[in-house]
Structure 1
């Protein structure tokens, strides 16, 4: 596996892999923040890093410079693999990084081979998308799988989405074809606050993963951040008449209408962003 740099190669069995990537699949940073939280919760440590040279355009995803005791270091956008242990003793493998820009099929081959090397049996991918939902409404988390038996057992459904996809969609297909039990969970994030992190959605994803795996999370800093999220966004919206009007418009819609066709939008948030931009253009200046 020439694209993976191993720090150690533990021998695991019946492991769970959780993968999340920042970018198109990660509205409000919810997916990646959820994965980071699960890493901390289950005391994960690094075991490998993906060599970024083959998968990234460094002009669009730039490395960063840091100084440590006066010495200059370059930090590259390297997806990292960590290993921890769930409360029931099962190994937890996580892969977290920036969505790759190049060679997705090869990248997915690297993930699949990593999973096979680390004894993974179940793959869980996380995503978040923008929808017309109010920031004080419960976060809607939808699960989908290509595994008919898993769908029946967990009350999930096979995705019927057709259209553009991100790395999560491609990776799900690769994992399914490789024979893993794979499932994807997606959380909703309000369109009108798309530039703000959503710990509320991140927590909802983590709780859905915990439910799927039959584990508990306990209280954490993510719970506190999620509890404060509504108040912080309330203050933001109150200070902007246009946002306040848009949020009120969403509140006046029925819950059924607010989540209509959700499954078809999971991997294509562009339509909702266009709707928001159209609404903003229609507003008269004060």
Structure 2
């Protein structure tokens, strides 16, 4: 089962777009819901007014489960919805009971975060299992979202649990990021040892990079900033994914770099 949630955990919708992509390219069907009233604050996850078959309807936020047929031998289950506001422990247990009902043994939670990384390089992906309490002082400490809570709950309940987070260049704003969606899809494919269909993601990712290239060419300061990020990524992670602690270090160094524009050195 792959789980993704909108909101704080989903920069540029890159994680939930993985689910939408799979639903678009494969045969799928809805198989269940976690209803909304106990889990959502409607002032932060508002109901939506929609017109369906000529009639206006209010669509309430909820989490939906789907069954996806990858091929005649392989079925994949996915979970998608807004991040809940309340009762996270109960929400996770309901998700895991649903996974048990369909004899799921492996759980992959996916998310995306804004970070200081360059669009000209492969977007970093952190990949962790449910047993990464290494005691290392460099492990991440800080706020977490529902993907992390579900990830650890799944590991504690005996699932083979994986957590994937892709970094999205913060300087490009909040538009959709197909390159990040494709990176997550590639990692999911590797974990599952399947060649999942990429559809039009490669062409969309190239358009995204071309748009970013044009933006950088039009702004000298941004160009210098991107070159700084490139050098850092090349020096610290050649051929490797960047973990959350490395991303935090990169944020600190790039903030120092940007402050140099506000306080130029005097001769």
TM-score, normalised by the number of residues in structure 1: 0.79
Describe the SS at the equivalent of 2:4: strand
1:244 Cα deviation (Å)? Answer: 3.0
Give per-residue Cα distances to partners, 1:184-228, cap 9 Å, x unaligned: 112121121141221011101101111111111245111221122
Match status 1:40 vs 2:21: no
Call closer, same or farther: CA 1:147–1:88 in 2, change over 3 Å: farther
1:88 Cα deviation (Å)? Answer: 6.2
Describe the SS at the equivalent of 2:37: helix
2:46 and 2:259 map into 1 onto residues whose CA distance is 32
Describe the SS at the equivalent of 1:249: helix
Describe the SS at the equivalent of 1:188: strand
Q: CA RMSD in A?
A: 3.0
Of residues 217-226 and 78-87 in structure 1, the stretch that sits farther from structure 2 once superposed is 217-226
Q: Retained in 2: the 8 A contact 1:39–1:94?
A: no
1:77 Cα deviation (Å)? Answer: 1.4
Look up the match of 2:12: 28
Q: Retained in 2: the 8 A contact 1:88–1:215?
A: no
Call closer, same or farther: CA 1:123–1:88 in 2, change over 3 Å: farther
Look up the match of 2:127: 143
Please list, as runs of the form range in 1=range in 2, the aligned pairs for 1:230-241 lying within 5 A after superposition. Answer: 230-241=209-220
Give per-residue Cα distances to partners, 1:10-67, cap 9 Å, x unaligned: xxxxxxx000111222222211111221233332211112211111110111111112
Look up the match of 1:220: 199
1:274 and 1:29 map into 2 onto residues whose CA distance is 27
2:262 and 2:72 map into 1 onto residues whose CA distance is 54
Please list, as runs of the form range in 1=range in 2, the aligned pairs for 1:1-286 lying within 5 A after superposition. Answer: 17-87=1-71, 89-147=73-131, 160-257=139-236, 262-265=242-245, 272=251, 279=258, 283=262
Give per-residue Cα distances to partners, 1:81-132, cap 9 Å, x unaligned: 0001223623211001111111111110111111111111111111122222
1:261 and 1:276 map into 2 onto residues whose CA distance is 21
For this pair of structures, how many residues does the alignment match? 257
Which consecutive residues of structure 1, in runs of 5 or more, have no partner in the other structure?
1-16, 149-158
